[in-house]
Amino acid sequence: MKQTAYASKGWKALQADYIKRDLHALHVQKLHSRLSKDISGVSLEEAAIHYGFLSHSAICIPAARYMQTGVLEHAESYFCLSTLAKQTSCGLLAHNPRWESERTSKLQMPDSITAAVLCGLTPAALNLLAFDRMALEREKTPMWNGRPDTRIDRKQEERRKRRRALEIDLFESLLRQEDKPARRTLAELDSLRYTPSASQTIHALLDQDGPRFADAVALHMREFRQGPDAGEWNDFVLLMEFLYQKRDAYQPPDLADAPAALLSLPECAPSRLEERLGVPLPSFDVEALLPVLDLSKAGPNFQQY
């Protein structure tokens, strides 16, 4: 395995767990098992969960292989598969009038957005952000004793929703390289106490200030490593570094939890995905899937893999 430029104790412990449990082989086995499952006649909910599982398994495979061997071979293909499956899952949920999303204060899918951009599917990343906006509109109503919970502070709830909607707007503008609306949105987010390290990174990106951008990325990485649930790599930093490289010259540091090789993956053509991965793939066309599902069924009555 190649030596990494820097790895925190937490990252090294996570790596040791991946190696001990051979999680790469486990995720490959799970993906192949899910790809072979026939979902004809299942409910919309179950179909959405199935494609969500496919997306999760596919995005875990390159991460697990990297953790165990330091290699990122075919990462773009697995990112592409994960993106297509995520779009399908979201599309099925959007067609389900019964579906309500969980209440959150942040973007629901930063890893999926980053994966889509890194493999050359920026339009798909924008579609995922559009779904995140729809999910915000279809959040579950908090209940108490069978009735809407009136104990919730309305001002805090409005502030939470406004901040999340602004964050969606901000990332859409960044992906489209629309700087003026991005600056306006970021200024409003700052007034709502947006995460300082994220704000500083995006300000430096928009100003194309390389030294300040590097300092902001370093700050974000330090905070990431100190978190209790720091994962394999920092999706936000990778996305910001990728976007900076599209605007100006920037040499990213090659860090264990933000490998520079992920910023130069070859673009993945979805039409060649089955050939590249060597496995038969299901349909990712929501309109083609709807006729084979049982829309009269309700509920995720699925068998756990």
Tally the residues of the chain.
305
Can you say how many angstroms the Cα of residue 147 is from the centroid of all Cα atoms in its chain? 33
pLDDT tens-digit profile, the chain (305 residues): 444 456 788 899 999 999 999 999 999 999 999 999 999 999 999 999 999 999 999 999 999 999 999 999 899 999 999 999 999 999 999 999 988 888 887 777 789 999 999 999 999 999 999 999 999 999 887 767 677 767 677 788 889 899 999 999 999 999 999 999 999 999 999 999 999 999 999 999 999 999 999 999 999 999 998 877 778 999 999 999 999 999 998 899 999 999 999 999 998 999 999 999 999 999 999 999 999 999 988 877 544 44
247: tokens are 């605007």
Q: Record the pTM.
A: 0.92
- What pLDDT shows up at residue 170? 98
107: tokens are 């973007």
In whole angstroms, what is the distance from residue 82 CA to residue 69 CA?
Answer: 21
Inter-helix orientation angle 122-137/110-118, to 10°: 160
Within 8 A by CB and 6+ apart from 189, the residues are 163, 166, 167, 170, 199
- What pLDDT shows up at residue 108? 73
Can you say how many angstroms the Cα of residue 297 is from the centroid of all Cα atoms in its chain? 29
For residue 15, give the nearest of 300, 259, 179, 247 by alpha carbon: 259
65: tokens are 């292989």
For residue 31, give the nearest of 52, 8, 51, 54 by alpha carbon: 54
For residue 45, give the nearest of 57, 53, 37 by alpha carbon: 53
183: tokens are 């600056």
For residue 79, give the nearest of 66, 91, 92 by alpha carbon: 66
Phi, psi of 153 (to 5 degrees): -70, 115
Helix (H) or strand (E) holding 143: strand 143-144
- What pLDDT shows up at residue 20? 96
Burial state string for 57-77 with b = 16 or more CB within 10 A and e = fewer than 16 = bbbbbbbbbbbbeeebebbbb
In the chain, % helix, strand, coil (3-state, to 5) comes to 65, 5, 35
Looking at residue 105, the DSSP 8-state letter turns out to be S
Place of tokens 């910001």: 240
> Left (φ > 0), alpha (ψ -120 to 50) or beta: where does 145 sit?
left
